[in-house]
Structure 1
């Protein structure tokens, strides 16, 4: 595919395909379990089209800042946020360079975004910076499969999948990335994606805390 076609696809097609795929039941069930735990000033990195918005507990959220580099996705999210009872601010920015002050957030939420962020380690360093010392990172991710057969298929499909799915990597290990950034993983669980999402490997969920000072 030519470069101009790829650029058009990335702007006009991929955001809607990603939105549709991430609306599936396998993702919604995990959002329903984890997102209501966010509280205080919340920063969501990889805000996308706002698929987490229905699951926030309005009684616990003071303010939500959604950060995403994709203007098309943010446009979808903004239309959903107008009916909410808490303040929602959408910022167009990269996860590796958050335009937010130090120690701002009580909770940072990242769902199915470490797979797509070009430099997830830099993004995690930024998340550490903006989290309060008592803050928490809530994460939902897909990534490296546990079985060797699925891992081999993930490696084969990774390049093509990334071009079709907005830069998504199939075989990153989110728990390793989070720990390598100095976070303490307080809770973790994982499962296996079933058809039709087998290529996404393992499903990761958990809560992490910044390193102790």
Structure 2
């Protein structure tokens, strides 16, 4: 295994799990994930960080995908500790391996930043949701501050190979709206204790538009 392959397979998953589990980020997850209900699908479920926040009284079934084998190990361990049945598979968001209109809720946290084709992923999430289904999203991305955004674009080419293809300058809420969702319950903030070029967060609930 070459250095690049080793980094991506072994180091990046551990860095992502650590970075995405900071107390401030977990607080944001705790405000979004419990809204999930019915049959739930989570894209980028590797790491299992969201599982503690699902309300088992509201969730009738849980499925998820992630491209990282190492992160999937963490997710399956988290499901075992929670003691619930979970259909967790290896896969990518551009080709979600589930039937159309299968889920009531889709959950997407800190995932759109690193997928290859965000528009295709959002199209797939819309496809697997039932009519009136809800997409819950929580992502970091492009700052509305022009000065910060310029720094994001400068740093991004160095950041991406270190952090598994993570982009700093992707917009968040607008692409969700453009993909055929009506967005409500939105929030946005700079995460305290982080450099501003990595700290802009947006979240919301988005209903699949007819």
How do 1:38-49 residues align onto structure 2 when only pairs under 5 Å count? 38-49=36-47
Q: TM-score, normalised by structure 2?
A: 0.96
Residue range with higher mean Cα deviation, 82-91 or 129-138: 82-91
- 5+ unaligned residues in a row in structure 2: which ranges? none
Count of aligned pairs between the two proteins: 210
Tell me what 1:74 maps to.
72
Q: Secondary structure at the match of 1:146?
A: coil
Match for residue 154 of structure 2 among 150, 153, 156: 156
Tell me what 1:106 maps to.
104
Residue range with higher mean Cα deviation, 201-210 or 124-133: 201-210
Q: CA RMSD in A?
A: 1.3
User: 2:96 aligned with 1:95, yes or no?
Assistant: no
Q: TM-score, normalised by structure 1?
A: 0.95
User: 2:209 aligned with 1:182, yes or no?
Assistant: no
Match for residue 22 of structure 1 among 17, 20, 23: 20
Residue range with higher mean Cα deviation, 191-200 or 32-41: 191-200
Tell me what 1:133 maps to.
131
Q: Secondary structure at the match of 2:81?
A: coil
Q: Give the distance between the partners of 2:193 and 2:145, measured in 1 at CA.
A: 15
Q: Give the distance between the partners of 1:144 and 1:35, measured in 2 at CA.
A: 22
Per-residue deviation, 1:190: 0.7
Per-residue deviation, 1:85: 4.1
| Runs ≥4 residues deviating over 2 A | 83-86, 193-199
Residues 81 and 88, structure 1, Cα contact 8 Å, conserved in 2: yes
Q: Give the distance between the partners of 2:183 and 2:122, measured in 1 at CA.
A: 13
How do 1:194-213 residues align onto structure 2 when only pairs under 5 Å count? 194-212=192-210
Per-residue deviation, 1:11: 0.6
Per-residue deviation, 1:210: 1.0
Per-residue deviation, 1:18: 0.5
Tell me what 2:34 maps to.
36
Q: Give the distance between the partners of 1:155 and 1:134, measured in 2 at CA.
A: 36
Per-residue deviation, 1:197: 4.3
